[in-house]
A and B are shown apart, each in its own frame.
Chain A
Amino acid sequence: MPKEQFQRFDLRECSQFLSGSDALINLRWIAAGALFMASAAIWVFLPSLWPFPLLIISALIVFFNIFLIYLRSFCPDGNRFFILQVVCDWIFLFFVCFWTGSISSPAVFLFPIYSILVGFFLPKKPAYLIAGFGSLLIGLLSLWGTSSPLAYVIGQAFFYIIVLFFCTTIGVWASRQLREQLDLSDFLRKSLEKENDRLGQVYKSALAMNSGLDLPNVLAIITKCFNETGLSNATVIRLLSEDGLTLNIASAEGISSEYAQRGSVALKDDEIDSEAIKCKCPVFVSDVAKDERFLYKSEAERENLRSLLCIPLFSNEKAIGIIRCYTSDYHEFSDEDVEFLSLLAAQASLAISNALSYDKMVKLDNSRNAFIRMATHELRAPMAAVQSVLQIILDGYVGDVPENQKQLLSRSNDRITQLLRLVSELLELEKTTKTQDSFEPINLKELLSRIISEIAPKADSKKVRLRMFTCGDNVIIKGIEEAIFRIFENLVDNAVKYTHSGGQVTIRLLEDDDTATIQIVDNGIGIPSESIPKLFSEFYRAPNAKQEQVQGTGLGLSIVKKFVIMHGGSISISSQVDVGTTFTVTLLKEPQLTI
């Protein structure tokens, strides 16, 4: 996550470290340590020299530092403590210089060097005041305890004072540069963090909004996402009616249910919403109680709604509704806020239009299913009744029927049977576009055996031999069992139907890693090559099939093909007239439902 990387480089901590008084205290420890090491080095390497004064100074610095640390507890203000330290340091330095040759002491150089730190860490004014104090000390040193000529001493002091102020100025300048950079980085970091947060929020919201297709759920997620931005205390979604004339509150979060159930309002009556939709841009109202266009002033007062940002929702250039973001205090939405909320609203539009489309699809599917059920009943019932009555007459329950009449009644009965089958198959063809059926594992060998036992009596009576060869007992594919059953029931039934007595029908089941292949091979009448391309068209029957006088609706194969395609599979035919036909169906073991 990029956000964590930002946190790793926290510049604020860095600047705190620099500006703290700890820097001087640490420097003092270092100075004391350095002096101690120097005295030790002198004692070891230059035994002729006397290291004792350095050791004393080192010890003094240590005690002085401990004293200052003690003082710090009485002086919580960082700047003041810094000044106190500097004053004490410089007085200390003054005495060191005094003892080591006054203005001629090499330690005088420490004043200008120290002043860089003073300029760096202190604000401009105190820094120059301290520099003035340093100049005073240098002046005192030049007048006191030196035996050099006066002009030389004054020149030296003058030189040190100029260098002191110069170094202070360098410190002040460097500090200002650094602070500007720090401030800039801090500002950039903050704005990047904010952008990052918002992008994350947009991403998260988009994911949440598009995670489902149930409209009320999607709307509830959207209002929640808007409230979670912290820019909206109450969010209301109003959706446009189909005719685009009325706005209905579809979802609300952060307001009472009473207010949310105000009902619908005509778009032309609500000037704020209609303006937003007309200009295709957000409309801002700073105080709803004072805006002429706002319709529900007293209710808004009760709900503690103050400022309003009204963002239109568009899908494919068509307005679908409005999102209203209310705040409980006066709030001017910045350009960035508006841009951010508009981005969220665009995501919301997408999610809403998806959910709306899905809603429509489900309704359509439901009404189609209801129609199919109704049609099934209405078409089948009268035919079943006619057939039942015919059967009663044919079986002689209402008196003897002469042979010639019996024959005619039989023919009527056959035609009705055919019609019933046509109706069933037509309805089945309709049903193939159904989407909600879920795939389940199917054992193909078991399924094919069931089909064989169902068709076997018919094959036996026709004296057609029906055989099956399988490569294994456990060829499992996923699919809609009813549909897969219909595919092979149809193909095997056809094979038996169009094979003459004494012929044979063979079913082969093969598998590889991803697919199962089923072949239905017969040595029947075959299909003329010019008929093969038309075979899967609805109501098409090959000419030689019609001649055979075998009953058929011409719908079976189109149903087969629809089911095979629905399972992502494929079907092919090879055939030769009077030799036989082979249907090859390849099915995926893990198919995706295709419509």
Chain B
Amino acid sequence: MKKILIIDDDTDMVEAMRIALEAVGYKVSSAPNGTQGLKTLLEFAPDLIILDVMMDTDTEGFNVAWAIRSDEDSSVYKKFKNIPILMVTSVSSEKKMKFDPKKDQEFLPVNDFIEKPIRPQQLLQKVSQYLG
């Protein structure tokens, strides 16, 4: 059973995603902020992370992603360096960022974006795409 970690401060959003993901058989754990999220990452050892772009600050989501992707040998998240990360953004902020996750893979710490509000089919399709 594949495990998914959701890092998002909005509990309703987490709940909606959890229901959809558990309905198709994934094991889901969640954390309300970046620090908790990184802690849970080590304990829960997920196969994929769903990360909210802005939790308390604009950049927190990205900071978490960069911490996981760190190239340093001493990094405690070394094991998860290549874990798929899906970033949840609102449509407008994704447009503003002008990122193309495929083209900008090299400098982007996340694999793909999921639009808010969540549409279950889109979510499940993207998750299964990265979990094979």
Taking beta carbons and an 8 Å cutoff, which residues of A are in contact with B?
373, 376-377, 380-389, 391-392, 395, 397-398, 420, 424
Contacts A392-B19, A397-B23: A387 and B117 contacting too (C-beta < 8 A)?
yes
Mark each residue of chain B from 13 to 34: 1 if its CB lies under 8 Å from any CB of chain A, else 0.
Answer: 1011101100100000000000
Mark each residue of chain B from 91 to 108: 1 if its CB lies under 8 Å from any CB of chain A, else 0.
Answer: 010000000000000000
Please measure, in the bound complex, the distance between the C-alpha atom of A389 and the C-alpha atom of B16, giving whole angstroms.
Answer: 5
Does B71 reach chain A (CB closer than 8 Å)? no
Q: Which residue of B lies closest to A387 (CB)?
A: B117
Residues of B within 8 A of A389 (CB): 12, 15-16
Known: A395-B20, A424-B92; 12 extra A-B contacts, CB below 8 A, are A376-B92, A381-B10, A384-B116, A384-B117, A385-B10, A385-B12, A387-B117, A392-B20, A392-B120, A397-B23, A398-B19, A420-B117
Whether the Cβ atoms of A386 and B19 lie closer than 8 Å is: no
Please measure, in the bound complex, the distance between the C-alpha atom of A464 and the C-alpha atom of B35, giving whole angstroms.
Answer: 51
Residues of A within 8 A of B54 (CB): 377
Whether the Cβ atoms of B23 and A385 lie closer than 8 Å is: no
Residues of B within 8 A of A392 (CB): 16, 19-20, 118, 120
* Min distance, Cβ A375 to any Cβ of chain B, angstroms: 13
Tally of A-B residue pairs with Cβ under 8 A?
53
Please measure, in the bound complex, the distance between the C-alpha atom of A381 and the C-alpha atom of B10, giving whole angstroms.
Answer: 8
* Min distance, Cβ B7 to any Cβ of chain A, angstroms: 15
How many residues on chain B are close to A (CB under 8 Å)? 19
Q: Which of B10, B23, B90, B117 contacts A391 (CB 8 A)?
A: B117
Does B121 reach chain A (CB closer than 8 Å)? yes
Interface of chain B, helix or strand or loop or mixed?
Answer: helix
Whether the Cβ atoms of B119 and A391 lie closer than 8 Å is: yes
* Min distance, Cβ B42 to any Cβ of chain A, angstroms: 28
Q: Which residue of B lies closest to A485 (CB)?
A: B95
Residues of B within 8 A of A381 (CB): 10
* Min distance, Cβ B122 to any Cβ of chain A, angstroms: 10
Please measure, in the bound complex, the distance between the C-alpha atom of A237 and the C-alpha atom of B16, giving whole angstroms.
Answer: 61
Ordered by A's residue number, 19 sampled pairs between the chains whose C-beta atoms are within 8 Å are: A373-B58, A380-B116, A381-B10, A384-B90, A384-B116, A385-B10, A386-B12, A387-B117, A387-B118, A388-B17, A388-B117, A389-B12, A391-B16, A391-B118, A391-B120, A392-B120, A395-B20, A395-B120, A398-B19
* Min distance, Cβ B33 to any Cβ of chain A, angstroms: 15
Whether the Cβ atoms of A388 and B16 lie closer than 8 Å is: yes
Q: Which residue of A lies closest to B116 (CB)?
A: A384
* Min distance, Cβ A468 to any Cβ of chain B, angstroms: 23
Residues of B within 8 A of A385 (CB): 10, 12-13, 16, 117
Residues of A within 8 A of B20 (CB): 392, 395, 397
* Min distance, Cβ A382 to any Cβ of chain B, angstroms: 8
* Min distance, Cβ B80 to any Cβ of chain A, angstroms: 26
Please measure, in the bound complex, the distance between the C-alpha atom of A376 and the C-alpha atom of B54, giving whole angstroms.
Answer: 12
What are the 8 tightest A-B residue pairs by CB atom distance, in nearest-first order?
Answer: A387-B117, A385-B12, A388-B118, A388-B16, A384-B116, A384-B117, A388-B117, A392-B16
Please measure, in the bound complex, the distance between the C-alpha atom of A348 and the C-alpha atom of B20, giving whole angstroms.
Answer: 66
Residues of B within 8 A of A380 (CB): 90, 116
Residues of A within 8 A of B90 (CB): 380, 384
Please measure, in the bound complex, the distance between the C-alpha atom of A387 and the C-alpha atom of B13, giving whole angstroms.
Answer: 9
Residues of B within 8 A of A391 (CB): 16, 117-120
Residues of A within 8 A of B121 (CB): 395
Residues of B within 8 A of A420 (CB): 117
Please measure, in the bound complex, the distance between the C-alpha atom of A383 and the C-alpha atom of B20, giving whole angstroms.
Answer: 19
Please measure, in the bound complex, the distance between the C-alpha atom of A388 and the C-alpha atom of B58, giving whole angstroms.
Answer: 21
* Min distance, Cβ A371 to any Cβ of chain B, angstroms: 14
Please measure, in the bound complex, the distance between the C-alpha atom of A377 and the C-alpha atom of B17, giving whole angstroms.
Answer: 19
Residues of B within 8 A of A382 (CB): 12
Residues of A within 8 A of B23 (CB): 397
* Min distance, Cβ B116 to any Cβ of chain A, angstroms: 4
Q: Which residue of B lies closest to A427 (CB)?
A: B92
* Min distance, Cβ A392 to any Cβ of chain B, angstroms: 5
